[in-house]
Structure 1
Amino acid sequence: MKLPELFEGPTFSEGDIVSFSFDEAAVSLKVVPLPSNSTKLNRVSVQSDFIETDLAGWQVLGDTGFFDRDLVTQSWCYYRCDNHLDLAAIFFKVSVLRHSDKEADSLMSMNYQHFYNVLLDDFRELHGDFKPKILEGSPSVENDFLAQAIPHEDIDGLRVKQFLNEGAPYPSTCGYFSLGRRYTLRVNLELGSLDYADFANPFSDEFLQNVKEQLFDDFLANLSIEYTNEAKQTIRRLAEG
Structure 2
Amino acid sequence: MTFSLVARCAETGMFGLAIASSSPAVAARCSHARASVGAVASQNVTDPTLGPMVLDLMEQGQSAPEAVADIRKRARFVDYRQVLAIDVGGRTAIHSGPKALGIWTQAQGVDVAAGGNLLANDTVPQAMVSHFERSSGHLGDRLLGALKAGLAAGGEAGPVHSAGMKLVDTVSWPVADLRCDWTEGCPIHQLEIVWDIYKPQLDAYIQRALDPREAPSYGVPGDE
Q: Structure 1 length as normaliser, TM-score? A: 0.30
Larger Rg computed on CA atoms: 1
> Which protein is richer in strand relative to its size?
1
Q: Structure 2 length as normaliser, TM-score? A: 0.31
